[in-house]
Amino acid sequence: MDYRKCAQEIYDLVGKRENLVSAAHCATRLRLVTADNSKVDIKKLEDVDGVKGVFSSNGQLQIILGTGTVNKVYDEFLSISGMTAATKADVKAAAAAKQPLPFRMVKALGDVFVPILPAIVAAGLIMGLLEGMTKIWPDMATSGTYQIFHLFSNAAFVFLPILVAVSAARVFGGNIFLGAVIGMIMVHTDLVNAWSVAGMMEAGQAIPQADVWFGLYKINLTGYQGHVIPVIIAVWFMSFLEKRLHKIVPEMIDLFVTPLVTVLVTGYLTLTIFGPVFAQLEEWVLVGVQWIITIPFGIGAAIAGAIYPLTVVCGIHHMYNTVEIGMISNTGLNTWMPIASSANFAQGAACFAVALKTKDKKFKSLALPSSFSAFLGITEPAIFGVNLRLMKPLISGMIGGAVGAAVGSMLGIGATAYGVTGLFGFLITTKFIWQYAIMLAVSFAISFTISWFLHKDKPKDEEVAAADEAPALPEITCEKGKVYAPIKGNVIPSANIPDDTFAAGVLGEGVGIEPVLGVVYAPFDGEISSTTDTKHAIGISSPDGMELLIHVGVNTVAMEGDGFELFCAEGDTVKAGQKLMTFDIDKIKAAGYSTTTAVLVTNSDDYAGLDIKEGACEPLDCVISIKE
Q: Is 617 a catalytic residue?
A: no
3-state helix, strand, coil in the chain (%, to 5): 55, 15, 30
For residue 151, with 0-12 CB atoms within 10 Å meaning exposed, 13-18 middle and 19 or more buried, which class applies? Answer: exposed
Beta sheet of 610-612, edge-to-edge order: 482-484, 622-626, 610-612
| Model confidence at 259: pLDDT above 60 | yes
The answer on pLDDT for 462 being more than 50 is no
Residue 592 DSSP label: T
What value does the mean pLDDT of the chain take? 84
The whole-number pLDDT of residue 66 equals 75
Does the pLDDT of residue 219 top 70, yes or no?
Answer: yes
pTM: 0.52
Domain membership flag for residue 553? yes
What band does 6 get if pLDDT is binned at 50, 70 and 90?
Answer: very high
Do the domain assignments include residue 295? no
Q: What percent of the chain has pLDDT over 70?
A: 87
Q: Is residue 40 part of a domain?
A: yes
pLDDT bin (cut points 50, 70, 90) of residue 465 is very low
Count of the separate structural domains present in the chain: 2
Q: Is the pLDDT of residue 211 over 90?
A: yes
Domain limit, last residue, from 56, 81, 99:
99
For the beta carbon of residue 193, count every other beta carbon within 10 angstroms: 16
Query: For 571-619, what is each residue's pLDDT tens digit?
Result: 889 999 888 999 999 889 888 899 999 999 988 888 888 999 999 999 9
Query: Does position 464 have pLDDT exceeding 50, yes or no?
Result: no
Q: What are the C-alpha distances in Å from 284 to residues 221, 277, 290?
A: 19, 11, 10
Res 439: pLDDT: 96
Enclosing H/E stretch for 134: helix 117-136
Q: Which of 6, 25, 26, 317 is catalytic?
A: 26
Boundary (domain end) residue, out of 78, 99, 120:
99
pLDDT at 425: 85
Does pLDDT of 538 surpass 90? yes
pLDDT in tens, 347-373: 999 999 999 988 777 778 878 988 988
* DSSP H stretches of helix in 383-473: 388-390, 392-410, 433-454, 461-469
Residue 469's CATH number: 2.70.70.10
Residue 201 has pLDDT above 90, yes or no: no
d(CA 478, CA 576): 7
Task: Select from 67, 99, 131 the last residue of a domain.
Answer: 99
Q: Confirm if 14 and 40 have CB atoms less than 8 A apart.
A: yes
The catalytically annotated residue of 25, 317, 536, 551 is 551
Determine whether 551 is an active site residue: yes
Q: Can you give the residue range of the structural domain that contains 609?
A: 461-626
Residue-wise pLDDT for 324-336, tens only, equals: 755 765 677 888 8
With a CB cutoff of 8 Å and minimum separation 6, the contacts of 320 are: 286, 289, 311, 336, 340
In this prediction, residue 461 carries a pLDDT of 39
- 72 domain residue, yes or no: yes
Q: Which helix (H) or strand (E) holds 32?
A: strand 29-34
Portion of the chain with pLDDT greater than 90, in percent: 35
Report the pLDDT averaged over residues 161-190: 92
Asked if residue 563 belongs to a domain, the reply is: yes
Work out the burial of residue 217: count CB atoms within 10 Å of its CB; fewer than 13 is exposed, 13-18 middle, 19 or more buried: exposed
> Would you say residue 511 lies in a domain?
yes
Least confident range of 199-203, 210-214, 423-427, 615-619: 199-203
pLDDT tens-digit readout, 482-514: 999 999 999 999 999 998 888 888 888 999 999
CATH of the domain at 32: 3.30.1360.60
Domain-embedded: residue 346: no
Does residue 231 lie in a domain region?
no
pLDDT of 395 above 90: yes
pLDDT band at 525 (very low <50, low <70, confident <90, very high): very high
Q: What is the pLDDT of residues 270-311, one digit of tens each?
A: 999 998 887 677 667 767 777 887 888 889 999 999 988 887
